[in-house]
Amino acid sequence: MTRRIQIAPSLLSADFANLERDVRRCEEGGADMLHVDVMDGHFVPNITIGPLVVQALRPITRLTLDVHLMISDPDKYIKQFAEAGADNISIHVETCPHLHRSLALIREQGKRAGAVLNPVTPLEYIYPAAEYCDFILLMSVNPGFGGQPFIPSFLRRARELRTWLDGNNLTHVEIQVDGGVKIDNVAEVVAAGANVIVSGSGIFSGSIEDNIRTMRRRATESLV
């Protein structure tokens, strides 16, 4: 099955004082989504933005808002992010003792549900709940900051997960990658099985539009 490449610039690397301008540049470059990193200073050692920013973005763009919750006890906030205008909501399995329930909460809000695994969380952890996911995000850095180096074990993990999903009638479940993805390594990331590409520092340094276009071209060329 050939999957569609989707480019999701991570707004964490945008200019927050000129967010609308940077959103327009992402649109101009042909981005498919805007990736919104929500950090609570508890699950991860950094604090970023909350539902108010999602709410502010919603009326100014038709791009998919892909909200990555790096927060403890995400069940408490799923509804709030859904109502603020998120399209995709992803939650870390490390924060969810009742994963089926949390994923169901997202779908009950009419949103696409994603489960996220940190780089060392065993893949087996998601298998029993994979059928309740629209996408699975494999972190390729430890969450918390933009601009960190790509952890190469992602490549083996993505190949293994793609093979498992395809072998279990879950070909429609997409693999998202997040962390350290740049123009130079996007081809190998896609060849390993990812088709939803989150990139922050790789897109927001230099020309946002050109970076998105180049990234899409390299990714599409390596699509299997």
Residue ranges that bind Zn ion, judged by CB under 5 A = 37, 68, 178
- Shortest CB 27 distance to ligand DX5, Å: 19
Residue 35 in contact with ligand DX5, rule: CB under 6 A = yes
* Shortest distance in whole angstroms from residue 23 CB to ligand DX5: 15
Contact 138, 153 (CB under 8 A): no
Residue 157 binds ligand DX5, judged by CB under 6 A: no
Contact 103, 133 (CB under 8 A): yes
| Residue window 112-151: x/- pattern of binding to ligand DX5, with contact defined by CB under 6 A | -----------------------------x-xxxxxx---
Question: Which of ligand DX5, Zn ion, none lies near 201, with the C-beta cut-off 5 to 8 A by kind?
Answer: ligand DX5
Q: Mark whether 178 is an active-site residue.
A: yes
- Separation between Cα atoms, residue 7 and residue 209, nearest integer Å: 12
* H helix intervals, the chain: 19-29, 51-57, 75-84, 99-108, 153-167, 186-191, 201-204, 208-221
Q: Can 37 be counted among the known catalytic residues?
A: yes
Which range in 91-99, 103-111, 162-170, 199-207 contacts ligand DX5 by CB under 6 A? 199-207
> Residues 161-180: x/- map of binding to ligand DX5 (CB under 6 A)?
-----------------xxx
- The alpha carbons of the chain give a radius of gyration, in whole angstroms, of 16
Partner touching 148 among ligand DX5, Zn ion, none, CB below 5 to 8 Å by kind: ligand DX5
Pick the catalytic residue from 32, 37, 40, 66. Answer: 37
By beta-carbon proximity to ligand DX5, the closer residue of 13 and 88 is 13
Q: Kindly tell me which of 120 and 224 has the beta carbon lying closer to Zn ion.
A: 120
Among Zn ion, ligand DX5, none, the one that 65 touches (CB under a kind-dependent 5 to 8 A) is none
Distance from C-alpha of 56 to C-alpha of 174, rounded to nearest angstrom? 28
Burial label, 29 (beta-carbon count in 10 A; 0-12, 13-18, 19+): buried
Task: Determine the residue type at 174.
Answer: E
| Sequence-separated (6 or more) residues with CB below 8 Å from residue 207 | none
Residue 18 sits at φ, ψ, to 5 deg, of -135, 50
78 is written with which tokens? Answer: 């799923």
DSSP 8-state assignment for residue 47: B
Return d(Cα 74, Cα 76) in angstroms, integer.
5
Residue 13 touches which of ligand DX5, Zn ion, none (CB < 5 to 8 A by kind)? ligand DX5
Catalytic residue numbers, as ranges: 37, 178
Footprint of ligand DX5 (CB under 6 A): 10, 12-13, 35, 37, 68, 141, 143-148, 178-181, 198-202
